[in-house]
Amino acid sequence: MSSLDALLKSPRFEVLPTKGTEDAVTEWVPAGMTVTVTASPVKGLEPTIELTERLAARGYRVVPHLAARSVTGEAHLAGIVGRLKACGVDDVFVPGGDAPHPAGPFDSALPLLERLTEMGSPFSRIGITGYPESHPKIHDDITIQAMWDKRRYASYIVSNVCFDAAQLGRWIGRIRARGVTLPLYVGLAGPAERTRLLKMAAVAGASESARFITRHPGWILRFWVPGGYSPDRLLDRAAAVLTAPGSGVAGLHLFTFNQLQQAELWRRAALERTGIDKPLLAG
């Protein structure tokens, strides 16, 4: 089995905590897979924690997003940690979050990571963000420096979605040259239909949809092509980068935007295209 095959066998599926997400996960995501649950800057962390608890009870390996700017204080954080540990979660992803103003004392990911360490490092694995394509509000050098600052508290990096294989390769080279050696999960936009995308954007709410489009203009434009977007072309072009030993790629992170049927059917087809054994099915 090649490294690319291995990446396709066990990607992480990112979902939004909306109505129907739990049923869609159980129908389309194979049991035992990793599911990451995003956090809403408008609705706060409660929907994230609730869905995490339900999916963990169904046997999934769940990684909730603990958006730093949505944590209201020490008591809130302690309560979240307790609930996650109680349902068996031992892996969290800590972004700064998109809330325009912090709800408590944590204005970015780093102070929350420091606080978790002071609490005795309750989770054995912690993920942090990476930006292969420029962040709309933060300079590239600052995002890479932030990874350096956070590396001592983290177990791995999850890259934001990228559509340019060459840019992805350059970015990986830059972070490795800076001495950031954490394993990397490469963000890959799953296949999407524009009607479904618009429906999900409406569910998310106008303010969150506008924020999402602002931060991911390349993603939106690609979804608008006839027939929707498919990740095959990027995956093919990035194969050499993804499988290079020096890249340190540990896995793929599928941004599904809750289009789980499309994401899983694409994954199965991609596995068959590589010629390996029939993939695992949900059930």
Which tens digit of pLDDT belongs to each residue from 42-90? 899 999 999 999 999 999 999 999 999 999 999 999 999 999 999 999 9
Rounded (10°) CA dihedral 151, 118, 37, 126: 30
Token output for 259:
């289009």
Stated pTM of the model: 0.86
DSSP-derived letter for residue 226 is T
pLDDT at 159 over 60: yes
| Domain ranges across the chain | 3-192+232-272
CB distance 279 to 13 below 8 Å: no
Tokens at 171, concatenated: 């970015």
Decide if domain 3-192+232-272 falls under CATH 3.20.20.70.
Answer: no
Residue written as token pair 């995501």? 29
pLDDT for the residue numbered 3: 81
Q: 């099915």: which residue's tokens?
A: 281
Confidence of residue 282 (pLDDT cuts 50, 70, 90): very low
Sign for the CA dihedral angle at 220, 16, 106, 116 comes to negative
Tens-place pLDDT, residues 117-134? 999 999 999 999 988 865
Summarised one tens digit per residue, pLDDT across range 161-180 is 888 889 899 999 988 988 88
84 phi/psi in degrees, rounded to 5: -70, -40
